[in-house]
Amino acid sequence: MVAPSPAHASDKRPYVRGGQTVPTYSYADAIHESVWVQTPDDADEDGVPDRVAVDLVRPRTAPGVKVPVIMDASPYYACCGRGNESELKEYDENGVISKEPLFYDNYFVPRGYAFAGVDLTGTNRSTGCEDVGGPHEVAGAKAAIDWLNGRARGFAADGSPVTAKAWTTGKVGMIGKSWDGSIANGVAATGVKGLETIVPISAISSWYDYMRYNGTLRSTDYPNYLQGVVSDRIAECAAVTESLANDSAEDTADYNAFWAARDYRPSASRVHASVFVVHGVNDLNVATPQFAKWWDELADAGVPRKIWLHQTGHVDPFDLRRAEWVDTLHEWFDRWLQGLHNGVDHEPRATIETAPGVFSQARDWPLPGTRNVTAKLGTGVAAYTDQGLSEAAAVTDPGTPVAGRLAFQYGPLTRPLRISGSPSVRLRVRVDQPTTQLTAKLVDYGTAARVQYNRGEGVQTTGTESCWGESTAADDACYFDVTERVATTDYAVLTRGYQDAAHHVSLRLTTPLQPGRWYSITVPVNAYDAIVPAGHTLGLVLTQSDSATEAPDTGATVEVDLARSTLVLPVSGPATLTPTAAKPRTTSGLTGGVRPERERP
């Protein structure tokens, strides 16, 4: 807590005391309202502008008292639910919202905020067409902000006009996990006035990078699959559905105009909202380049920002550090939506989990002073042939030759190694096929207690509950507690990277390789932050096709000039990486790989 400034002391808002918002209004007496906001689009081509459903819960304030809005725009309110307990929206007999998922309304409405749950275009009670991260989705969520600021038209269920000017300041903070947070990124990239902050949790900043790993197809028919999961308006949206199938360049995995329309990073300079990024460094659904590249673009644009990184997977911090998260989020919204100078924006910018349950703060991320350290792979030429290895088969027993991989070791380390940022592997290779997938994995070999992110995303639900805000018979504020899933293991895959060899020149086009010719190809490795303890060994494993992608088992043989190939690590503090016990050899043979089930962002 900070001492209240003179401005705080004279604040006339009844819900502000001592420099912070406090419970003032009865949640049981809150106003529930459902509004349909007109968008600028007609995605379903029915001759009528699309409308997005905006379900509001707001405090019953006195005349003249206005409040800002916390908004979660989501495609999941009817199909799949939100939060660890998969809560859905519920409505009363008149079709007005009676229960919003998650705790935001229960906790913040008594403190002088309104909450808006927005159905993305083409989902639940919104019209239009779901275009999977595209312009229609973004325009629909943006229209809700425009309506709150008097720039768009809103209607009640009976068609009568509805405005918000009597009760809101027009200041909006968007929050959400996964797809919800992705749309928050997209709306912020429009520069819309009134959006003061966003809190993207495990969110996408480039849908190409979500569905294509550097020119490698992650899964077939992914855009249409996601559309079908969240929307029941496929029949009304033939043109959009056809575009998702035909314009996404599945046959080549090229980056094109379709993907550029779903890439928010080039518009980071238009972001006027502050940004509070939260992401798991072991998130295998929305991989870490999604936050890391966005974070770098925001930094270059001078956007006020904060970041939390944790060691679990695709997890909301409410299910990781619940008390600390609610307190910090409360301070963040008070600062950017209420204008209360509580110091949260002057705290260390980064909070990072360095071991199970151990969090530390840093001035920035990557850690200040981080530098790239390069390590040679060895000498001579080694070769490996595509085997479609499982990850366990690829990384186990790195000192033993295994067909289909090259394994390198650095260590045992004489001191802890802090990795902070985006590694890469620079390879000098010769391939006997026009292309193949090049896969790199960094592995920490050594016994330690680790978060088991491959099981339940690294968390498990307990039998106890805790409550966050006020409850009613229709909408309770209590949720099962969640703990990290931790076990002692002999090794852990830290991070992974993929590169289609024929896309090594550009992601916009393929450049087939000529057999017999040497190429320099960089495999970008997903951003990471970790401490590899002294006494452990850092491993680098190279394979080709992988269960995380749809890359075919080509049977390609890749020769690697070890002396002209390097591992590049972003390291904070002293580091010496000397290759040891590397026993690569030429291998051959072919086995089938296991393909993943498709995930939802």
Find out whether 549 and 522 touch, Cβ atoms under 8 Å: no
558 phi and psi, to 5 degrees?
-110, 125
What is the b/e burial string over 470-502, where b = at least 16 CB atoms within 10 angstroms of the residue's CB? Answer: beeeebebebeebebbbeeeebbbbbbbbbbbb
- Which amino acid, 357? G
> What distance in Å separates the CA atoms of residue 163 and residue 187, rounded to the nearest whole number?
21
Q: List the catalytic residues.
A: 178, 283, 314
What is the b/e burial string over 408-440, where b = at least 16 CB atoms within 10 angstroms of the residue's CB? Answer: bbbbebeeebbbbbbbbbebbbbbbbebbbbbb
- Which amino acid, 116? A
Q: Identify whether 366 is preceded by a cis peptide bond (ω within 30 of 0).
A: yes
Nearest to residue 458, comparing CAs of 282, 250, 271?
Answer: 282
β-partners of residue 58 are 31
- CA distance readout (Å), 78 to 118, 448, 477, 520, 570: 11, 42, 20, 48, 43
Nearest to residue 309, comparing CAs of 285, 344, 279?
Answer: 279
> What distance in Å separates the CA atoms of residue 106 and residue 466, rounded to the nearest whole number?
13
Under DSSP, is residue 512 helix (H, G, I), strand (E, B) or coil? coil
Residue with tokens 């802090």: 418
CA dihedral 38, 39, 43, 45 (to 10 degrees): 50
